Structure formats: structure tokens, C-alpha cells
Structure 1
Amino acid sequence: MEKFQPCQIVKGCATDPLPHFESDTPLPSNIFAEMKSYSQSQGGVALIVLVDGKVVGETYRDGADEDTRFFSFSMHKSVMALAYGAAIEDGFIHSIDDPIGDYIEEWANDPRGKIPLRAFLTMSSGLEALEQSEWRALKFNFSQNVSEVALSLEQWKEPFTQFHYKNTDSQLAGVALHRALKANGEKDHASYVLRRIWCPIGAKDALLWLENEEGDPRFYAFLDANLRDWARVGLMIMQDGEFGGRQILPSAWIVALKTPSANNPKYGLQTWIGSPYAAERSYGPSSELSVPQAEPYLASDVNFFDGFGGQRVYVVPSAGLIIARSGEISLTWDDGVLVNLALRGLEERIPSKTE
């Protein structure tokens, strides 16, 4: 991450380390070995598994360790959605059903300003999709004017008519959040995430890639942190917004995060949902990418953060299970393998599942 500039540090407030099982681990060691083997066969560099909030397995390779910050890619989207829950609780945003023009001045009197925030958070804004070969896509991905490109997009469809996973939807949702934070006396997105999420869960320093020194963060990706801290975020979600005996985010917001959206039952608010089963998980009508899954999840309550090429945080509350994984980009990553290996090792915990 240090190669990408400018960066902003989300300063950590590291507290007690994650506890480990000293004996009688609920996940057999041979199961973790199989999980490690699959992850590394797909270019995996780091893997950590928690059960009931305790580490049952952790592994690194290629010089990485517990302090290494990994590329998160789109997992930042899910953290941005968590920050929305804090901003609503703090009164900075009234509702995600507010029109985005209430928060983005450039669109205050523009038809696009009537699109609800919810449409951007659920990838159903109806705005045009950038073709990766066109100059605007290159400008969006690599220039110092990311938000400017996103704000230039035209409306192609009515909101909520089609799921279409787009980084620009996340960027615009993030810009609206950032403007709301600043309007209410907060310094910036990084400082707010630090105060409301990162410090309360005891995480270490993370890095956020900005579009330019004075501009917005890249809300669609690139909040890069160590794997233990991603596991902490997953643990907070599994515990309905609570961490270390303190309610960090409203439990109702965590439920909303994981509630299927109108246009895609496998997508909530910037967060993916494991059920219903799909052998190929699609990112939308113009994306050539999809993620295979050879078999359904063995639990019906899987939800997860998806970072490009196999960066993941899986949360399975019924089994008390958290899996965080990072590695080289893999386009053959199967989303079911790690979760189902773990669930088979924890089979006594899993209630009967009906799809």
C-alpha cells in the first residue's frame, strides 16, 4: 500500500491481542491444515480463523506476519457502510433513504440528486457503467480526480431497477458520507472511522489511499490493514455491533447491512450474503467477472466482505466462525471452500439448514 500515494494513516489504538485457545480447540488441526492448503493453492499469503472470538489457526508466508498490511481492495466498501451506521446514530445522516443531493452540493438541483443513498449502497443507482477500456475508467482508477469522474456520470436507468456492481456507486456513497461528516465538525473519513470503529475494536494502524492531498479517499477500495484487524471487524459484525463489552454500532444497522437488497438477494449494504446459493456469483450485467462456488454453504447465515481476487472476511454467526484471508489475486477462487471446510469441522454446532 505504501507504493500508492498519497496515503493517510488511520492511526490504530491497539489494545489486548486476540485470545487463542490454549487447549481443546473446537476446530480440528487437520481441518485448519486443509484450509491453509486450499488458500495457498490459490496464492494465499495469510489466513486466520476465529471461533467464539478466539484464534484457532493463523498462518503467513512470503515474509508476511501479523503486522503486515494487506491490500483489501473492495473490503473498504463494507467498512464505509459500517461508518454509515455510525453517522446515522450520531445524527450526521438522517436516513439512507435521503436523496443524495441533500449531501452533495453539486447535485442539489440535479435530477441525479434525487437518487436515494440506499440506491448507491445497494449498487442499484441506475447511473451509467464505465467501460474499462475508456479513458474515464482509467481516470477513475488512476488519476487524482476520482470523485470528479463519479460525479460526471449520467443516469441510464431508474434507481432500483437493476443490480450493477460499480465502484462509482461506492465512491458517490462515500463522498456523501464524507461531506456529511465534515458538515458536522468531523475532520475527515479516516478520523471518523478511527474514532467510531478502528479504536473501539482495538485495531492497529491502517492505510487509506486518497485521490489527492486535499481530496476524497477512494471509498470503493484500499483501506489496507493487517489480517487480525480484519478479523476484529468480522467479530464486531458477528456480535451485532458489540466488541469487548461495548456496543460500537447499533445492532439494527448490522441487521440492515446483511439484509438482502431489492435487486439482489445476495447483496445487502456494500456487503455480500451467502444465501441463496449460486454456482456463479455475478457482479452485474457488464462485468465479465464472476466467482464460482461449487456447493452451497453448510450454514444459511454466511455473510462476507469481498475484495478482488480472493481477499475475504467471512462471518458465520451460527457457528461462531470468522475467517479472514488475503493473498495474490486469484480469478479461480471458490467462495465455498474455506467456509465449508470449517463448518464440517464444527458440524456439531451447525443447525439443520434449509435453503
Structure 2
Amino acid sequence: MAITVGSIRGAVSGLALAVLLATTGAAAQQQGPATPAVRLIQPPARDQSDLQVLFWSDAQRAERFRAMEQWFAGHEVAPPSAARPLPKGTPLSPALQAEISALMKATGTAGVMVLVDGKVVHEEYGLGMSPTDRWTSFSVAKSFTATLLGAAVKDGFIKSLDDQVTRYIPGLAGSAYEGVTVRQLATMTSGVKWNEDYTDPKSDVAQMNRFVVEFGPEAIVAQMKALPREAEPGAKWVYKTGETNLIGVLVENAVGKPLAEYAKTKIVDPAGFAGGLFWMVDPRGGNIGGCCLSITLPDYARMGQFALEGGGAAVPQGWFAEATDSAVDFGDSGFGYGYQWWTYPQGTYGAQGIFGQGITIFPDKKVVFAYIGNWQDASGGPERGQFLDLSRKIAAEVK
């Protein structure tokens, strides 16, 4: 299918929820998980100026990215009784180890972990991080939300990705989302117009806070239903964090529980996370589909291994192969987009978040490259390319 690719300006930024975050602490409703393994954390009230993530200083980011539960309301998910072991493998060559260390230091990267066939061949920390500290994900969360979408299909809560979005979010009836399928929502090819320009005060991203103030718990649906259509469904790709938020609403409506609670049984436990998970809530009291969960670096790697191995019984058979296959190609660059996963040349894929979070997976080499950071520029600047190049060097060294 020929799909026109819209502007990808800011696509790897992924903090379209930044303007929402300042409201979540006070506005979160008491909708919440029913299991003792998931609890709502409500931090002390803070001055709104202290909650504008994009305007935090370098020192504030380095301190707060590892402790977002002290700043924003969210659900904390307990880890399983036994974590997935990550045994040691053959270390990378000294030259590659030195290159990783130098790049981490130069870019403000808080941690790098490399798995080969499920074994740790490199693990390194900076910025005072440790293996037990959690670090925020930003848009890496999108790939978690897509995994829960797959789980909801497997469990029968969602009949088909070809169902209409309005079947699960009735509030979108009569809007530009009429006739859009769940699959098109997952691939950001709805044809609905969206502006993710963080420098434009009139952009849809910049208007999110206005909708929260005006509509509270109904903000996500209220904003998205007001958007116009610019192309036929399936015909054009435009990066829209607002649509991942809709996926979160859709899954929660279908399953009847917050994403974090569903993630407990569909990701955290089967992937064997050691440090649990913290996922911010929005004014509904549900979780933010497009952003803002926190896990440890080893658990970033475990999530990559979980995807590499196909997700076990949590998702339909072949789900990850389908989700990480490019549904949209960005010209002939070899890059593209699947179900909330970025696709890279030569069958590689990954998840990305602003300020330097990522999971890159090389299926043919059974390599998982996970990193967390506090890069100076939200969109990554040259760092994103440097880390992709580094991951390729690592994969090339693996026999």
C-alpha cells in the first residue's frame, strides 16, 4: 500500500505529553487498580513551574528522571516474585567497551546494557545511576502500549485490528476518526491532521494543556475529536503522540483496567522485570499511553528480549513480527514505522524516547541494545545517530 509520509519533525522527541504532565498530580482521579500489586502514588503538591519537564535544567533532569514518582502521580507496579535472570556472556572487545564509555560520557548517558542471546555482554552506568534505579522512558512507552494492544487482541477484548476505533471509544463518533481502524491508529495513518511542533504555541501539542484545563478527564478524547481530516484513512503517516494516548484509552476501555495494571500480567511478570514499573496517570486516572513509564536499565533490556522472543503467551502468535515490520516506509531510507515501533534498515527495530532513551533490537544476531540518558537536546541531535551507529558496530562484532 502506498502511504504518503508526513513531516517527521519532532518524531523522535515524543514528549507531546509535556504540557499535560503539570496537571496530572492534582487532576488524577481515583480510578485505580484493584490489585495490591499495583498502587497509586500521589506525590506532594508542587508549584506548576517545577513540573514543566522541557524546561528543567540539565542538573534537574539528571536528578528527576530517576525519580518521576516524586513529581507526578502514577501507578507503581510490583515486580514478580522472581526476576528473569540475566547471566553474564562474553564481554565485548576492549575497543568497543572504550567507545561505549567515551560516548556515554560525551552525551550524558546514564546507562547502557547489551544482551546477546539473553546474556549481558556489557553493562555500564553514568550520572550516579545503579542497576536498581528506575529511569523515565518518554516515548519508549509507546511500544509498551502497543504491546498491551496486542495482549487485548489475544485476550479477546479487542476483536480485530480492523475494527473501527469508534467501537471502543464511542466519544469519537461523528469525528474525523469515524471510519478509522485500530490498525490505522496503531500505525499513525489515520489521516487525521495533527501538528507536533513543540516550537509552535498554536500546535496541537501546545494546546493539550488548554484541553486539560477545560475538559479535565475528557481532555484526550475532546481534543482528538475536534481535529479535522487531511487524508483518507491509511493514506498518510504523521507522527501523533495524541493517537498513542487514544490507543491507551482504547485499550483501557476494552480491558476495563488501567494500562499499568494490565501491564503487570502482560509485560512485567512474563518479561521478568526486577524493578517493577511506574507509569504516570492522566486526569482520567488512567495511564498516559504515549509517554512516561519508568523502569530500570536491566528491565529496558528485558523488554527488548521479551519482544525479540515474541512475547510468549501474552500476545498473539507472530504479534511482534507484525508489529515491528514496517507498515510505513520513509522513502528508500530503510527506516519506517510499525505498530508504535520504529523500523530500521536490515530488519532491525526499536523504541525511542526523548533525551536519550532507547531499545534497539537486531533479531538476526539476537542482540538487544538498551540505553537511558539525559541528552542535552530533547530530540537527540547527533546523539541518536551516534547510538544507532554504535549498536550496529556491536551487532557486527557478534558472531
User: TM-score interval w.r.t. the shorter chain?
Assistant: 0.7 to 0.9
- Aligned-partner Cα distance in 1 for 2:390–2:338: 22
1:181 to 255, 259, 277: 255
Aligned-pair CA distance for 1:343: 2.1
Preserved contact between residue 12 and residue 199 of structure 1 (Cα < 8 Å): yes
Conservation of the 8 A alpha-carbon contact between 2:78 and 2:276? yes
CA distance in 2, matches of 1:50, 1:326: 15
- What residue is the counterpart of 1:296 in the other structure? none
Matches for 1:118-197 after TM superposition, within 5 Å: 118-130=183-195, 131-132=197-198, 133-134=201-202, 137-140=205-208, 143=212, 146-147=219-220, 148-182=222-256, 187-197=257-267
CA contact (8 A) 2:77 2:278 kept: yes
Q: What is the CA–CA distance in structure 2 between the aligned matches of 1:135 and 1:3, rounded to whole Å?
A: 29
C-alpha change, 1:336 and 1:5, in structure 2 (3 Å) is closer
Partner SS state of residue 135, structure 2? coil
Q: 1:248 aligns with which of 314, 330, 346?
A: 314
Q: Indicate yes or no: 2:71 matched with 1:7.
A: no
Distance change in 2, residues 1:88/1:322 (3 Å): same
1:274 aligns with 2:349: no
Quote the Cα distance in structure 2 between the aligned partners of 1:56 and 1:221.
29
Partner of 2:393: 341
Structure 1 residues 141 and 240: alpha-carbon distance in aligned structure 2, compared to 1, 3 A threshold: farther
Q: Matched residues in 2 for 1:74 and 1:14: separation?
A: 28
Q: Distance in 2 between matches of 1:176 and 1:19?
A: 34
1:124/1:94 CA distance change after superposition, 3 Å: same
Equivalents in 2 of 1:3, 1:303: separation in Å? 32
The residue that corresponds to 2:147 in the other structure is 82
Matched, 1:326 2:394: no
Deviates more, 1:172-181 or 1:138-147: 138-147
- Closer, same or farther in 2 for the Cα pair 1:20/1:29, shift >3 Å? farther
Deviation at 1:141, TM superposition (A): 5.8
**Conserved in 2, the CA contact under 8 Å of 1:206 and 1:225?**
yes
| Residue 250 of structure 1, CA deviation | 2.9
1:308 and 2:354 correspond: yes
* Mapped partners of 1:336, 1:135: distance in 2: 30
- Post-superposition offset of 1:258: 1.2
2: CA distance, partners of 1:215 / 1:128: 27
- Report the alpha carbon displacement of residue 109 of structure 1 after superposing the two structures with TM: 4.7
Residue 137 of structure 1 aligns to a residue whose secondary structure is coil
Correspondent of 2:327 among 261, 277, 280:
261
Q: Distance in 1 between matches of 2:250 and 2:85?
A: 34
After the TM superposition, which of the residue ranges 321-330 and 259-268 deviates more from structure 2?
259-268
Cα distance per residue 1:25-46 (max 9 Å; x no partner): 1632432331232233222111
Contact 1:196 1:248 in 2 (8 A): yes
Question: By how many angstroms is 1:169 displaced?
Answer: 1.5
Is the counterpart of residue 207 in structure 1 residue 278 in structure 2? yes
Which residues of structure 2 form unaligned runs of 5+? 1-67
TM alignment of 1:19-98, pairs within 5 A: 19-21=86-88, 25=90, 27-98=92-163
1:236 has 2:301 as partner: no
Calculate percent identity across the aligned residue pairs: 26
2-side partners of 1:338 and 1:238: how far apart? Answer: 19
Preserved contact between residue 149 and residue 247 of structure 2 (Cα < 8 Å):
no
2:281 is aligned with what amino acid?
Answer: L
Cα distance in 1 between the residues matched to 2:285 and 2:228: 22
Contact in 2 for aligned 1:161/1:263 (Cα 8 Å): no
TM-score by length of 2: 0.73
Q: Which structure's residues are more often helix, by fraction?
A: 2
Query: CA 1:326 to 1:141, structure 2 compared with 1: closer, same or farther past 3 Å?
Result: farther
**Structure 1 residues 14, 228: CA separation in 2 closer, same or farther (over 3 Å shift)?**
farther
Distance 1:10 1:240 in 2: 22
Local SS of the residue matching 1:319: coil
Question: What SS does the aligned partner of 1:157 have?
Answer: coil
Q: 1:97 to 1:40 in 2, by over 3 A?
A: farther
The one-letter code matched in structure 2 to 1:76 is A
Give the stretch that moved more between structures: 136-145 or 51-60: 136-145
More displaced, 4-13 or 94-103? Answer: 4-13
- Please give the per-residue CA displacement for 1:115-154, whole angstroms capped at 9, x wherever unaligned: 1111111111111213541275334269455513233322
Residue aligning to 2:13 = none
Quote how far apart the aligned CAs of 1:257 are.
0.7
- C-alpha distance in 2 between matches for 1:29 and 1:90: 46
Per-residue deviation, residues 77-106 of structure 1 (Å, max 9, x unmatched): 001111111111100001111110000011
SS of residue in 2 equivalent to 1:169:
helix
After TM superposition, the structure 1 stretch with the greater mean CA deviation from structure 2, 49-58 or 1-10, is 1-10
4+ runs deviating over 4 angstroms: 141-146, 262-265
Q: By how many angstroms is 1:217 displaced?
A: 1.8
Q: Which amino acid aligns with 2:76?
A: I
Using the alignment, how far apart are the partners of 2:92 and 2:209 within structure 1?
41
Per-residue CA distance 1:215-253 (angstroms, 9 max, x = gap): 3321111111111111111001111223xxxx4333311
Number of corresponding residues: 312
The CA deviation string for residues 258-292 of structure 1, in whole angstroms up to 9 with x for no partner, is: 121146561111001112xxxxxxxxxxxxxxxxx
